[in-house]
Amino acid sequence: MNPVVDYMLERPVAGLSVRDLKANARLKKFALAFCVLAIFALFITMTIPPITKVAHGQTSMLAVHLLLELFAIIIAIHVVTISWHTFDTKYEHSANILICGFLIVASCDLVHALTYEGMPPFLTESSTPRAIFFWLMGRTFEVVTMWLLAINWTLPLSRKLSLLLGVMISALLIWFGSYSIEAFPVTFINGQGVTSFKAYYEYSLCLLYIVVAILLWQRANRSGETRYYLLAVSSFVMGIGEISFTAYVAPSDFQNIFGHVYKVVAYALLYWATFIINIRAPFETVRKNEMRFRYMLETSPIAVRITDSSSHKVIFANQRYAELINLPREQVVGTDPILFYLNPQDYKNVLQQLEKGFSVTDKMVELKIPGAQAAWALASYFMLEYENKQAVLGWFYDVTNLKDAEAKIQHMAFYDALTQLPNRRLLMDRLNQALATSTRNGQYGAVLFIDLDRFKTINDTKGHEIGDLLLIEVAKRLQYCVREGDTVSRLGGDEFLVVLETLSTDTDEAAIQAEMVAEKIRATLSEPYMLKERSCYTTSSIGIILFTSHQENPDDLLRYADTAMYQAKTSGRNTIRFYDASMQLAIDTRAELEDEMRLALKNQQFCLYYQIQVDNLRHSIGAEVLLRWQHPEHGLISPAQFIPLAEETGLIIPIGKCVLQIACTQLAAWQNDALTRDLTLAVNVSAKQFHEVDFVNQMQQVLLESGANPSLLKLELTESTMLENIEETIAKMREIEMLGVSFSMDDFGTGYSSLQYLKRLPLSQIKIDQSFIRDIVSDANDASIVQTIIAMTETLGLNVIAEGVENEEQCQFLELRGCHAFQGYLFSKPVPLDEFMIFLNNRS
């Protein structure tokens, strides 16, 4: 038998199992058919004249009657006894009614049989009216009992009191029927048959029986309980049987006997109903419960196993257990469970605990699975009696997937997904351990910070896929270069970190050892790579820091190694550098400066100085704006100190925007003053700023917002800025030129100074770098360079201006060579705006 299939049949549908529903449907058909048959039989009976005798002679009639009545009496007593014994079961609500009611019915029917005409005297003489009285009482109490049953009424009495009530009513009726029958209406007249009282009484009973039958039928439909259908049919048969008791003339008439037969049939149905209630139903419930539990076991996602506690062999296992240990179900029974434990001691300990009377719950066990990966289960064990044997019940909740997921999560938390190397978190942990070991044994350790040179270029030019493959290959090579106890990790991007342990106790020796490993790494990483059939090359810059005691902080060690790596990078890449404290100081200062610069921008500590530009007649022709940082602690800071870092960090972009805005606003303001109306303003623009994608838009916007005259604005770009991506630069310069803005090439002469490029660039002016001006009078070389530059600008039709003019000799020299614009301390140093305005006023 398959418990699952079996359970499905027993599964409740609207409170009833499929089986119950089918059985009820069958029973209903049977009941209805039975009722129709009973009516038909009655109809036939009623058409037969009443004189027909069924028995030959009085004696045989008595025997037949007694037999028929005995059957009913036995069943009535049966109902009483079964109800007595099932009083405490779920049918108890009807039990006390049945005890009391059917005890009266049984007593009445017994005395009815004993007082039947022709029977020997019982208490008094037997007679038909007496027998009829007990008959009518029996039926009356019977129909009332059934009615109470149909409406589910309960006698508020105990079992014993219900019995006592039944005995008392029975005794009262027997006494009345035996000694005071005269007080009861006449029911039978010899030779005439039953009286109309008796007939109407029977008709009333018939009606009541039928009403009760209907009520019971409705109850059966509502509850789905089979017994109510049977009780309903029983009541119906009893009811229509009553009609035949209205038709006989002599007690031995066929109709009387036929009525008794109906009663026997009705009682047979009653017996069936009580049998179902009291005998079959409990077994049925037990069977269903058993099936339900089996089903639960079979469909349980938890593996269940029962082992004999003496032989230790499996005596029961559900399907899930068979799946868990990867064996066909039929092979599981008889196996020794200990064979499946990865650590058999686990199971032995469990058995010991159980023997001591303890249960073992939620124990994590690892199971050996034939032909498969080991499984993890959360197991609980209990002692149990199973099929009369002492047994061990084991529940196993398969947590292999959870364990795998846990391992995966742990791996993800501590390992880099691309290279599978320990990540920063795990590295810090290992570094802490290495520091502790080093403190204990006094041996040096080392942190190697490895950064791939030009990895970004490889990534950009060859694609990220190749970049990823390169990182994976680098990880492999790094692991190959170190010992087993050392840690190789990836911090992210192209940065790797190696922690070397147990180096020498001597500093120099440890440094040599660390350098040897670093050199091996450097050489190995610079070997060519074949990635997706494409050859690829890279080198690495390695920074090293040695450590020896736990006083070192892992974060600091990483920072120092990073600094050393940076040092290696600035020393030309593909090199190794040990950490140097002065380098760290410089880096820290830089970092500090960067933070301060951001703050300065926020707090508007940047301001502009103006330096006059004049022509050969010393007339003011314009000015150059030069940035200053008014530091709250360090005073005025020159741009030479912060512009390079601002460029490196990108801060030059917001700073440059700010300069442009102030300069243009100032230019617009000058429009209203005759003294300044014609002055040009030169603004330095850094390469980063100029190459911003929307620089043209920025210019456009700043001009629009400020209202400055673009033709008076001059942007100073260095030669290197212009030559970086020359085509794009030219295009951009042309766009800006269209706005009316002109360009001056700053620091000319210090760079490439190619005539070919100069010709193509939309410049209006060239600014000779002050380094040539400084010694122009004394240095023939500088003099000839300046002369060439001036000649070149003439050829190209460009203006020329000399910066850093500090004395008259320099100025005259330049003038003589054809340079007619000057800027320098000879005229004025860069000064704040108010000073600049005073200066202009004084000059005028």
Ligand X SMILES: Nc1nc2c(ncn2[C@@H]2O[C@@H]3COP(=O)(O)O[C@H]4[C@@H](O)[C@H](n5cnc6c(=O)[nH]c(N)nc65)O[C@@H]4COP(=O)(O)O[C@H]3[C@H]2O)c(=O)[nH]1
Q: Between residues 458 and 768, which has the closer beta carbon with respect to ligand X?
A: 768
How wide is the angle at C-alpha 738 spanned by C-alphas 733 and 742, nearest 5°? 60
Is residue 620 a contact residue for ligand X (CB under 6 A)? no
Give me the 776-805 binding string for ligand X, x by CB under 6 A, dash otherwise: ---------------------------xxx
**Which part of the chain contacts ligand X (CB under 6 A), choosing from 680-688, 749-757, 778-786, 811-819?**
680-688
Q: Between residues 276 and 831, which has the closer beta carbon with respect to ligand X?
A: 831
Q: Between residues 259 and 656, which has the closer beta carbon with respect to ligand X?
A: 656
Among 445, 770, 785, 811, which residue sits at the site for ligand X (rule: CB under 6 A)?
Answer: 770
Q: At closest approach, how far in Å is the CB of 713 from ligand X?
A: 13
Longest distance between any two alpha carbons in the chain, whole Å:
174
**Which part of the chain contacts ligand X (CB under 6 A), choosing from 84-92, 438-446, 476-484, 639-647?**
639-647
Q: At closest approach, how far in Å is the CB of 552 from ligand X?
A: 41
Give me the 439-478 binding string for ligand X, x by CB under 6 A, dash otherwise: ----------------------------------------
Write out the H or E segment, with its range, that includes residue 84: helix 58-85
Among 639, 654, 751, 762, which residue sits at the site for ligand X (rule: CB under 6 A)?
Answer: 639
Among 627, 801, 821, 840, which residue sits at the site for ligand X (rule: CB under 6 A)?
Answer: 627
DSSP assignment of 261-288: HHHHHHHHHHHHHHHIIIIIHHHHHHHH
Residue partners of 158: CB distance under 8 A and separation at least 6: 96
DSSP state of 575: -
Is residue 594 a contact residue for ligand X (CB under 6 A)? no
Is residue 746 a contact residue for ligand X (CB under 6 A)? yes
**Which part of the chain contacts ligand X (CB under 6 A), choosing from 130-138, 253-261, 512-520, 638-646?**
638-646
Among left, alpha and beta (phi > 0; psi -120 to 50; other), residue 370 is beta
Q: Between residues 28 and 820, which has the closer beta carbon with respect to ligand X?
A: 820
Distance separating alpha carbons of residues 92 and 75, to the nearest angstrom: 19
Among 265, 531, 643, 745, which residue sits at the site for ligand X (rule: CB under 6 A)?
Answer: 643
Identify each DSSP E strand in 291-421 by its residue range.
303-308, 314-317, 360-367, 375-386, 389-398
> If binding means CB under 6 A, how many residues of this protein chain bind ligand X?
24
Q: At closest approach, how far in Å is the CB of 624 from ligand X?
A: 7
Where do we find the tokens 């800025």? 721
The DSSP bridge pattern shows strands 606-615 and 620-631 to be: antiparallel
Give the 3-state secondary structure of residue 41: helix
Q: Between residues 350 and 805, which has the closer beta carbon with respect to ligand X?
A: 805
Q: Between residues 235 and 684, which has the closer beta carbon with respect to ligand X?
A: 684
Is residue 651 a contact residue for ligand X (CB under 6 A)? no
Give the 3-state secondary structure of residue 387: coil
Give me the 800-839 binding string for ligand X, x by CB under 6 A, dash otherwise: ---xxxx----------------xxx----x---------
Q: Between residues 105 and 733, which has the closer beta carbon with respect to ligand X?
A: 733
Q: Between residues 325 and 626, which has the closer beta carbon with respect to ligand X?
A: 626
The DSSP bridge pattern shows strands 16-17 and 12-13 to be: antiparallel
Q: At closest approach, how far in Å is the CB of 766 from ligand X?
A: 13
Among 747, 772, 790, 839, which residue sits at the site for ligand X (rule: CB under 6 A)?
Answer: 747
Distance separating alpha carbons of residues 561 and 448, to the nearest angstrom: 6
Tell me if 538 sits within 8 A of 525, measured CB to CB: yes
Q: Between residues 600 and 643, which has the closer beta carbon with respect to ligand X?
A: 643
Q: Between residues 419 and 684, which has the closer beta carbon with respect to ligand X?
A: 684
Q: Between residues 419 and 686, which has the closer beta carbon with respect to ligand X?
A: 686
Q: Between residues 305 and 714, which has the closer beta carbon with respect to ligand X?
A: 714
**Which part of the chain contacts ligand X (CB under 6 A), choosing from 146-154, 278-286, 427-435, 682-690?**
682-690
Write out the H or E segment, with its range, that includes residue 835: helix 833-843
Distance separating alpha carbons of residues 36 and 30, to the nearest angstrom: 10
Is residue 686 a contact residue for ligand X (CB under 6 A)? yes
DSSP state of 119: S
Q: At closest approach, how far in Å is the CB of 561 from ligand X?
A: 34
- Of residues 290, 319, 315, the one with CA closest to residue 303: 319
Q: Between residues 719 and 746, which has the closer beta carbon with respect to ligand X?
A: 746
160-199 residues near ligand X, rule: CB under 6 A: none
**Which part of the chain contacts ligand X (CB under 6 A), choosing from 65-73, 308-316, 635-643, 785-793?**
635-643
How wide is the angle at C-alpha 805 spanned by C-alphas 665 and 759, nearest 5°? 70
- Of residues 287, 155, 284, 146, the one with CA closest to residue 228: 146
Q: Between residues 417 and 640, which has the closer beta carbon with respect to ligand X?
A: 640
Give me Rg for the CA atoms of the chain.
58
Q: Between residues 114 and 646, which has the closer beta carbon with respect to ligand X?
A: 646
Is residue 666 a contact residue for ligand X (CB under 6 A)? no
Q: At closest approach, how far in Å is the CB of 654 from ligand X?
A: 12
Tell me if 796 sits within 8 A of 758, measured CB to CB: yes
Is residue 659 a contact residue for ligand X (CB under 6 A)? yes
Give me the 703-742 binding string for ligand X, x by CB under 6 A, dash otherwise: -------------x--------------------------
3-state secondary structure 761-822: CCCCEEEECHHHHHCCCCCHHHHHHHHHHHHHHHHHCCEEEEECCCCHHHHHHHHHCCCCEE
Give the 3-state secondary structure of residue 708: coil
Is residue 613 a contact residue for ligand X (CB under 6 A)? no
Tell me which amino acid residue 735 is. E
Q: Between residues 143 and 768, which has the closer beta carbon with respect to ligand X?
A: 768
Partner residues linked to 305 by β-bridges: 317, 394
Where do we find the tokens 């920025």? 698
- Of residues 758, 706, 713, 761, the one with CA closest to residue 734: 761
Report residue 677: phi and psi, to 5°: -55, -35
Q: How far apart are the first and last CA of the chain?
A: 120
Where do we find the tokens 């741009």? 639
Tell me if 248 sits within 8 A of 50, measured CB to CB: yes
Among 638, 781, 784, 807, which residue sits at the site for ligand X (rule: CB under 6 A)?
Answer: 638
**Which part of the chain contacts ligand X (CB under 6 A), choosing from 9-17, 97-105, 678-686, 719-727?**
678-686
Q: At closest approach, how far in Å is the CB of 678 from ligand X?
A: 22
Distance separating alpha carbons of residues 812 and 452, to the nearest angstrom: 55
- Of residues 179, 304, 313, 196, the one with CA closest to residue 247: 196
Is residue 640 a contact residue for ligand X (CB under 6 A)? yes
CA distances from 632 to 247, 600, 627, 649 (A): 131, 9, 16, 22
Among 548, 680, 684, 793, which residue sits at the site for ligand X (rule: CB under 6 A)?
Answer: 684
Q: At closest approach, how far in Å is the CB of 828 from ligand X?
A: 9
Which residues contribute to the site for ligand X (CB under 6 A)?
611, 626-627, 638-640, 643, 656, 659, 684-686, 716, 746-747, 770, 803-806, 823-825, 830
